[in-house]
Structure 1
């Protein structure tokens, strides 16, 4: 979905609908919760396989000791200038594994 598609859809909602919380649901992980912010990144963000999952900028990867060749082999997960939502509901995740 492009941002303009989201805007067009939001423009069709009543003021009452616009006052409702924006929620997410991840069926893959069995978590849901409120979206508390939408982020815009100023650099490409990379994931290098660490746990917990953390996204890194090129500068951060260099500080962690990665070489330019290593960084070139990582996939850009979120390209520079994009908007994204972080899904984080640690309580729900922990609750699933304790049950």
Structure 2
């Protein structure tokens, strides 16, 4: 969904509806919760398989010892300039897999 589509949909809601919490449901993980904030990534963000799940900028990966070819081989999880939501119950996801 593009932001303009989301904005158009929001504009159709009543003031009463706009006062409700924005929730998420991650069916793959069996969790749900409130969306606490929407972030904008100024740079590409990468995931390298660390636990807990963290996204890193290219500069952070270089500081962690990753080479340019290694970084270039990674998938960009969130492209620079895009908006994204971090789930507020991220630790409940981790706890779910630890038990």
Give the TM-score of the pair, scaled to structure 2: 0.91
1:64 equivalent in structure 2: 64
User: In 1, distance between residues paired with 2:96 and 2:68?
Assistant: 40
* CA positional deviation for 1:56: 0.2
Q: 1:74 — aligned with what?
A: 74
Structure 2 unaligned blocks of 5 or more = none
Structure 1 distance, partners of 2:22, 2:16, is: 13
Of Structure 1 and Structure 2, which has the larger fraction of its residues in strand?
2
Report the CA distance between 1:96 and its aligned residue. Answer: 7.8
RMSD: 1.6
Tell me the distance in 2 between the aligned counterparts of 1:53 and 1:9. 31
Residue ranges of structure 1 left out of the alignment (5+ in a row): none
- Once the two structures are superposed, residues 8-28 of structure 1 have per-residue CA deviations (whole angstroms, 9 ceiling, x without a partner) of 000000000000000001110
Query: After TM superposition, where is structure 1 displaced by more than 2 Å over at least 4 residues in a row?
Result: 90-98
Query: Quick check: 1:31–1:93 contact (8 Å CA) kept in 2?
Result: no
Once residues 59 and 84 of structure 1 are traced to their aligned partners in structure 2, the CA distance between those partners, rounded to angstroms, is 20
Write the distance in 1 (CA, Å) between the matches of 2:97 and 2:68.
39
Q: How many residues align structurally? A: 98
